[in-house]
Amino acid sequence: MAGVVAEVGKGVSKFKKGDEVYGDILEIVEGNPWQVGTLAQYTVVEEHLLALKPSNLSFEEAASLPLALQTALLAFDTVNFQKGQSVFIVGGAGGVGSLAIQLAKNVFEASRIVSTSSAGKVEFVKSLGADLVVDYTKQSYEQIDEKFDFVFDTIGESAKSHVVAKEEGKIVDITAFPPHQKAVNVVTKAHGSNLERVGKYIESGKLKAVIDPKSPYAFSDVVEAYKHQESGRARGKIVISPIE
């Protein structure tokens, strides 16, 4: 979500009324989701989940980032990704994949970025920073002759995509549970500090929000928005605007 602080509670030190903030407000407390997100006009949020909204982003752009961006960051951190390493990103056109490509190129300085999408999205995924985009409807993982230091699978296909990892390469699958035996599954733990860490890249335009062309959806079209998400065909992130 992204919004404006309406009031602050006792003990809040980071933000004041009127601040423009954003964050992934999903929080798991002792194994239970305490709060799973919001479509509401007003919501109550713990301050550690938020960061100040970069001033160059609209609220819609800001709302699109926190979950996907923190998920992609976690994946790169999990494998301790180093400048100059190569990465293969399964699902480059999705919410997480579209940010993972930008992170790989502009933050982690990968030496080579290869990703996958269907034919109609190849140019779009290239425009995000991929050196090569494989049309997964025409080419299987076995037909890819390169091997990579890191395979980041956002689609849940590590049972198949693991073959493009180097022998000593690392694989993160954020969807399949359990993932392939060579892969690890990670679950995002939101914190405003993750967003602050990449704030300068957002402000300088090196990390851009990627909003699905059908977004932002009006609140009255929320069912359509969820159907589009469930179709698995979204390009970037779907955003829902607040109640007018």
Cα 135 to Cα 133: distance, rounded to the nearest angstrom = 6
Indicate whether 66 belongs to the interface with ligand NAP (CB under 6 A). Answer: no
Supply the Cα-derived Rg of the chain in whole angstroms: 18
Instruction: Report the nearest approach of ligand NAP to the CB of residue 86 (Å).
Output: 18
Indicate whether 21 belongs to the interface with ligand NAP (CB under 6 A). Answer: no
CA angle 187/77/75 to nearest 5° reads 45
Contact 153, 186 (CB under 8 A): no
Number of chain residues interacting with ligand NAP (CB under 6 A)? 27
Instruction: Report the nearest approach of ligand NAP to the CB of residue 142 (Å).
Output: 15
51 Cβ neighbours under 8 A, 6+ residues apart: 21, 22, 23, 192, 193, 195, 196, 199
134 Cβ neighbours under 8 A, 6+ residues apart: 114, 115, 116, 144
**Binding residue for ligand NAP (CB under 6 A) from 23, 54, 66, 94?**
94
Q: Name the one range near ligand NAP by CB under 6 A: 30-38, 54-62, 89-97, 164-172.
A: 89-97
Residue 177: exposure state from Cβ atoms within 10 A (0-12, 13-18, ≥19)? exposed
Question: β-strand 50-52 against 86-90: which pairing, if any?
Answer: unpaired
**Binding residue for ligand NAP (CB under 6 A) from 188, 194, 215, 241?**
188
Residue closer to ligand NAP, measured from CB, 58 or 229 = 229
Residue closer to ligand NAP, measured from CB, 5 or 180 = 180
Strand partners, 150: 87, 170
Instruction: Report the nearest approach of ligand NAP to the CB of residue 57 (Å).
Output: 19
Instruction: Report the nearest approach of ligand NAP to the CB of residue 71 (Å).
Output: 4
Cα 61 to Cα 121: distance, rounded to the nearest angstrom = 21
Site string for ligand NAP, 119-158 (x = CB under 6 A): --x--------------x-----------------xx---
Indicate whether 64 belongs to the interface with ligand NAP (CB under 6 A). Answer: no
Indicate whether 96 belongs to the interface with ligand NAP (CB under 6 A). Answer: yes
Q: Which two tokens stand for residue 214?
A: 């059908």
Q: Name the one range near ligand NAP by CB under 6 A: 38-46, 66-74, 106-114, 190-198.
A: 66-74
Alpha carbon 28 to chain centroid, angstroms? 19
Indicate whether 25 belongs to the interface with ligand NAP (CB under 6 A). Answer: no
Instruction: Report the nearest approach of ligand NAP to the CB of residue 173 (Å).
Output: 9
Q: What DSSP state is assigned to residue 149?
A: E
Binding-site ranges for ligand NAP (CB under 6 A):
67-68, 71, 90-91, 93-97, 116-118, 121, 136, 154-155, 174-175, 186-188, 229, 232-235
